[in-house]
């Protein structure tokens, strides 16, 4: 398994129509993951070595810290960010959005999306979705600028592809009745 997962998502119907278009990416920086791993390793090793030489009251706080580091590291590696634009107009986020991991679907339609852009907060970069009504959804944060730009471009591309596919399907559906129309003569 690759440490960095940046993958386009495309799902087609048996008839070749685009049903889903989206993107998957890893949000956490490698440097941040290494710091968490080192902190967990050092605190866990210190606690275990300290208890081996006799119980010390101050060391009891290191084991929970080590556990928190392991959980944080596992969570960031096991749950990539995913945004999928669906043919029915819905927007799914199976692993949540930034700072709201429980949000699995956005509560507005794709037609409400005005733009997908980069955002910056100090040295952290992220991806934000703006709606026509002025709502803002932070999709991702704590990324390098190049990764955030890649995600914004790929999500914009996926949104454009699903919109184009839907307009193609609608035009084919409108043309289908005309192609099957028959003239009927009344005497």
pTM equals 0.70
Model confidence pLDDT, tens digit, residues 33-45: 566 566 666 666 6
State which fold the 1-27+82-177 domain adopts: PH-domain like (2.30.29)
Q: What does the domain layout of the chain look like in residue ranges?
A: 1-27+82-177, 29-79
Task: Identify the pLDDT of residue 97.
Answer: 86
pLDDT higher than 70, residue 145: yes
b/e per residue 110-149 (b: at least 16 CB within 10 A): bebbeebeebeeeeebbbbbbbeeeeebebbbbbeeebbe
Q: Rounded distance, CA 39 to CA 70, Å?
A: 9
Q: Are 127 and 140 in contact (CB under 8 A)?
A: yes
Model confidence pLDDT, tens digit, residues 86-132: 999 999 998 888 878 788 999 999 999 999 999 998 888 999 999 99
Q: Average pLDDT for residues 154-163, to the nearest whole number? A: 96
């Amino acid at each position: 398994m690759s440490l960095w997962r940046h993958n386009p998502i495309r799902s087609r119907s048996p008839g070749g129509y685009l049903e889903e278009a989206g993107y998957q990416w890893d949000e956490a920086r490698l440097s941040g993951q290494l710091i968490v791993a080192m902190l967990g390793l050092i605190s866990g090793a210190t606690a275990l070595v300290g208890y081996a030489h006799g119980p010390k009251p101050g060391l009891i706080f290191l084991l929970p810290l080590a556990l928190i580091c392991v959980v944080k590291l596992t969570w960031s590696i096991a749950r990539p960010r995913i945004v999928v634009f669906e043919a029915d107009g819905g927007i799914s986020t199976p692993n949540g959005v930034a700072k709201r991991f429980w949000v699995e679907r956005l509560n507005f339609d794709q037609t409400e999306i005005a733009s997908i852009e980069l955002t910056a907060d100090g040295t952290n970069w992220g991806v934000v979705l703006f709606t026509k009504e002025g709502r803002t959804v932070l999709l991702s944060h704590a990324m390098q600028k190049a990764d955030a730009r890649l995600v914004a471009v790929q999500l914009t591309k996926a949104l454009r592809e699903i919109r184009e596919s839907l307009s193609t399907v609608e035009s084919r559906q409108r043309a289908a009745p005309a192609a099957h129309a028959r003239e009927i003569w009344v005497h």
